């Protein structure tokens, strides 16, 4: 494998205080908790980390805080994507300077580039850093899908483009990706509920939201599948399936922050335009958590 960031990467939330300022102590505490509870790596300043509302200075301090917390226990990946190629390049360089183990960079959102535009965008990022790069395809947020041939072209051209987070639930497309890409190129499920199906088609693991609260269970599901105990993996998938879905009952990361508050790990504050769950929504979520 070109680069192994692990099988369970948690797309980590960004804890805020009541003023909705970044709570860096809670960043450290949460990152430490995650790598001690099933996560091989944490991904900071991604969409689940509310990156659209963070400043670049906040993002870099979050990276530094997480690095201090997990030193020697797991990897820290930084979300550095942007719909501006210049900004994506700048943040990739800063992530490398500040000691990130790898970066995740998303298909440019809102401006909906062509496939050739995506190739130019990711090429610029790959040529700007020596860090391992995980591409991120999530058409529901970006408005455009990265084609199989685009990923294949980039993987062939750049050895530091090492993996793909695929948040697109079409299994035929996933099969085509696995067949088109080198065996040492890792593909991660970007959706918790699709982890097991994608493992059966050759995924390496998951970049997860639910691993905030069920990291050990998700790790065991993947391990059981890969060691041939498919029945036990299937049973765990079915056990966790209700929470996989309930954690997206409202825009991510609102529900998972509420779940983490319920567990006493962080406050559930989110930055606007997101809003916290209502009391009735929390009751519904907590009932599901308690039933697993």
Rounded-to-integer distance, Cα 276 and Cα 269, Å: 7
Question: Is there a contact between 201 and 176 (Cβ–Cβ < 8 Å)?
Answer: no
Asked about 158 being catalytic, the answer comes back as: no
Q: Enumerate the H helices of the chain as residue ranges.
A: 24-35, 56-70, 85-97, 115-128, 139-142, 148-157, 171-180, 195-200, 211-226, 230-246, 254-262, 279-291
Q: Which of 94, 163, 156, 157 is nearest to 129 (CA)?
A: 94
Q: Which of 110, 103, 75 is nearest to 89 (CA)?
A: 103
CA angle (79 as vertex; 73, 82 as ends), nearest 5: 170
Asked about 26 being catalytic, the answer comes back as: no
Of the candidates 94, 165, 219, 246, the residue annotated as catalytic is: 165
Rounded-to-integer distance, Cα 208 and Cα 51, Å: 16
Of the candidates 3, 136, 168, 188, the residue annotated as catalytic is: 136
Rounded-to-integer distance, Cα 268 and Cα 238, Å: 27
Catalytic residue positions? 136, 165
């Amino acid at each position: 494998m070109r680069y192994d960031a692990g099988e369970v990467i948690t797309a980590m939330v960004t804890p805020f205080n009541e003023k909705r300022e970044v709570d860096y102590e809670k960043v450290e505490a949460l990152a430490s908790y995650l790598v001690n509870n099933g996560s091989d790596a944490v991904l900071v300043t991604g969409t689940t980390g509310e990156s659209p509302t963070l400043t670049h200075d906040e993002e870099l301090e979050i990276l530094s805080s997480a690095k201090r917390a997990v030193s020697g226990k797991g990897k820290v990946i930084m979300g550095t994507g942007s719909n501006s190629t210049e900004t994506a390049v700048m943040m990739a360089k800063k992530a490398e300077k500040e000691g990130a183990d790898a970066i995740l960079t998303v298909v440019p959102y809102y401006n909906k580039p062509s496939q050739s535009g995506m190739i130019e965008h990711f090429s610029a990022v790959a040529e700007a850093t020596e860090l391992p790069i995980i591409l991120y395809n999530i058409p529901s947020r970006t408005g455009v899908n990265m084609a199989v041939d685009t990923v294949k072209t980039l993987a062939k051209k750049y050895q530091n483009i090492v993996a793909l987070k695929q948040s697109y639930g079409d299994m035929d497309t996933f099969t085509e990706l696995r067949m088109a890409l080198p065996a040492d190129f890792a593909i991660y499920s970007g959706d918790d509920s699709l982890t097991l199906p994608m493992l059966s088609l050759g995924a390496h693991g998951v970049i997860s939201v639910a691993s905030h609260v069920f990291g050990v269970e998700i790790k065991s599901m993947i391990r059981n599948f890969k060691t041939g105990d498919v029945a036990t993996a299937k049973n765990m998938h079915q056990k966790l399936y209700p929470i996989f879905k309930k954690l997206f009952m409202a825009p991510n990361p609102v529900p998972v922050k509420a779940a983490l508050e319920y567990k006493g790990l962080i406050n559930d504050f989110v930055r606007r335009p997101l809003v916290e769950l209502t009391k009735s929504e929390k009751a519904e979520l907590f009932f599901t958590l308690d039933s697993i």
